[in-house]
């Protein structure tokens, strides 16, 4: 018997969502169905499974019990119809583009999205005649102005990587729907614990589960959750064909990591708030961007649409790139690496790393300046993180 999670708190839901009792041996842990294919009882059974007349697993690119358990868990946490796990976050992003875009179809996107989410449109999808406008979606007038009669997709990332600018999800859902377009939200920075875009009117939500959902810096993966069955069927059919599926072992690892999601998110946020306040009061810091600071220009929107402020901070050290490098080279606890959302703190320089594939003028127009440092705050002790940053800043 599965537990009824209706009305339960987020910690209970993260712990038990998608629980899949093993009816054969009664294992509490989810088994790994490490198989590429499934056998049929007889020819008619195979035909019925393929026609959809009977439910059954056919082939792991199309469905696998371990992966389905993970998909059901995330769909539950995002309050959606169904989940589709993918081999990477970019497989999720590209499959959504593949589903909704085509020759002569236009999309509007957040200008400061993760570098590759923008790069694949500008250099690859454009080759197939896709039209696009990347604008500052924090400014709703810019979003409205960018919409065209052939706009089918409004694609936003909030908070955006790495500017930590926010976009109003409910307002964008209204704008998209008025124009007959769909709203897709990359919810990677918040995880399903801190923000649920489908509840705010979005049609599709996606995550790079490489980040918070897995949380242990040992798996690359993605997941898509749709609000309706119709959108689920459209995207699922593209992924089945294109083949960006998550494999069963990957799904098992991610489920294992996900069970501590709410604990990690809570701890990371407590640490981030303290670090952001410390940075804000430090004389060598030019500016700090963190949604939990009252000085964040969209602090009110953060409080309205998010259930917490997350653990991503961006800041600029006075004196520009050279002084920023001194901090990157002298911190001892955060490792100098791209990615985020793991249990450990990481620090990086977007202009030369995660966003280096965006042309300089576009990158700067999107607010990703040369001096911006991104700090992904982990679950260490805040006193240790503060002392470490303090000694690094003292080296300037
Ligand atoms: N969406 C967001 C918001 C991301 O931050 C990333 C990766 C992706 C999608 C793509 O996911 P992946 O295919 O890597 O699982 N962001 C990275 C970052 O900021 N540093 O390294 C990767």
pLDDT in tens, 70-120: 999 999 999 999 999 999 999 999 999 999 999 999 999 999 999 999 999
Residue 89 CA to ligand 1 center (angstroms) comes to 6
Q: What is the pLDDT of residues 10-62, one digit of tens each?
A: 999 999 998 876 778 888 889 999 999 999 999 999 999 999 999 999 999 99
357 close to ligand 1 (CB < 6 Angstrom): no
Torsion of CA 230, 236, 237, 243, to 10 degrees: 170
Mean pLDDT by 10 residues, the chain (396 residues): 86 90 83 96 96 95 96 97 98 98 98 94 97 97 98 97 95 98 98 98 98 98 98 97 96 97 98 98 96 98 98 93 91 97 96 86 86 95 98 96
Ligand 1 and 333: CB distance under 6 A: no
* C-alpha dihedral, 329 to 333 to 337 to 342, nearest 10°: -160
Name the residue of 158, 160, 206, 208 whose CB sits within 8 Å of the most ligand 1 atoms, as the mutation to test its pocket.
208
Predicted pLDDT of residue 146: 98
157 CB less than 6 Å from ligand 1? Answer: yes
CA of 28 to the centre of ligand 1 (A): 32
Q: Is 89 in the pocket of ligand 1 (CB under 6 A)?
A: yes
CATH 3.40.640.10 residue ranges for the chain: 10-258
Structurally, what CATH architecture does the domain formed by 10-258 represent?
Answer: 3-Layer(aba) Sandwich (3.40)
Task: For ligand 1, pick from 211, 215, 340 the residue to mutate: most ligand atoms within 8 Å of CB.
Answer: 211
Known catalytic residues are 61, 114, 186, 211
Q: How many residues does the chain have?
A: 396
CA of 46 to the centre of ligand 1 (A): 39
| pTM for the whole structure | 0.96
Ligand 1 proximity of 92 Cβ (cutoff 6 Å)? no
Q: In what order do the strands lie in the sheet with 372-376?
A: 285-289, 312-317, 372-376, 346-348, 335-336
pLDDT of residue 321: 84
Question: Which residue puts its alpha carbon closest to atom 5 of ligand 1?
Answer: 114
Does residue 222 line the site of ligand 1, with CB under 6 A? yes
End-to-end CA distance of the chain: 60
For ligand 1, atom 14, name the residue with the nearest CA. Answer: 89
Pocket test for ligand 1, best of 195, 197, 210, 368 (most atoms within 8 A of CB): 210
Where in the chain do CATH 3.90.1150.10 domains reside?
Answer: 261-393
Say how many Å lie between the CA of residue 90 and the centre of ligand 1: 7
Ligand 1 centroid distance, CA of 184 (Å):
16
The pair phi, psi for residue 342, each rounded to 5°, is -90, 175
Q: Which of the four CATH numbers 3.90.1150.10, 3.40.50.300, 3.30.750.24, 1.10.760.10 does domain 261-393 have? A: 3.90.1150.10
């Amino acid at each position: 018997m599965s537990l009824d999670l209706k009305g339960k708190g987020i910690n209970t839901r993260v712990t038990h969502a998608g629980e899949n009792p093993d009816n054969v041996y009664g294992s509490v842990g989810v088994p790994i169905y490490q198989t590429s294919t499934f056998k049929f009882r007889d020819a008619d059974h195979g035909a019925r499974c393929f026609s959809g007349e009977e439910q059954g697993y056919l082939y792991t690119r199309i469905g696998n019990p371990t992966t389905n358990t993970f998909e059901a868990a995330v769909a539950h946490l995002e309050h959606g119809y169904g989940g589709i796990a993918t081999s990477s976050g970019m497989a999720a992003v590209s499959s959504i583009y593949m589903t909704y875009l085509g020759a002569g179809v236009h999309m509007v996107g957040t200008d400061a999205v993760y570098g590759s989410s923008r790069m694949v449109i500008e250099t690859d999808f454009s080759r197939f005649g896709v039209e696009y406008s990347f604008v500052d979606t924090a400014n709703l007038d810019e979003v409205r102005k960018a919409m065209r009669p052939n706009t089918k997709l409004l694609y936003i990332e909030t908070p955006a990587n790495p500017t930590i600018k926010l976009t109003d999800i409910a307002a964008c859902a209204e704008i998209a729907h008025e124009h007959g377009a769909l709203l897709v939200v990359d919810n990677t920075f918040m995880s399903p614990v801190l923000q649920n875009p489908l509840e705010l009117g979005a049609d599709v939500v996606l995550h790079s589960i490489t980040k918070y959902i897995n949380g242990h810096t040992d798996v690359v993966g993605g997941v898509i959750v749709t609000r309706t069955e119709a959108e689920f069927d459209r995207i699922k059919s593209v992924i089945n064909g294109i083949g960006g599926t998550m494999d069963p072992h990957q799904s098992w690892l991610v489920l294992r990591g996900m069970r501590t999601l709410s604990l990690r998110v809570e701890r990371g946020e407590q640490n981030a708030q303290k670090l952001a306040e410390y940075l804000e009061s430090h004389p060598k810091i030019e500016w700090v961007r963190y949604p939990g600071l009252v000085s964040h220009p969209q602090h009110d929107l953060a409080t309205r649409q998010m259930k917490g402020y997350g653990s991503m901070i961006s800041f600029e050290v006075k004196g520009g790139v050279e002084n920023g490098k001194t901090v990157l080279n002298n911190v001892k606890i955060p490792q100098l690496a791209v990615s985020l959302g793991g249990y450990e703190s990481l620090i990086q320089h977007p202009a030369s790393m995660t966003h280096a594939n965006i042309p300089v003028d576009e990158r700067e127009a999107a607010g990703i300046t040369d001096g911006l440092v991104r700090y992904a705050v982990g679950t260490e002790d805040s006193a240790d993180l503060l002392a470490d940053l303090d000694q690094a800043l003292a080296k300037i």
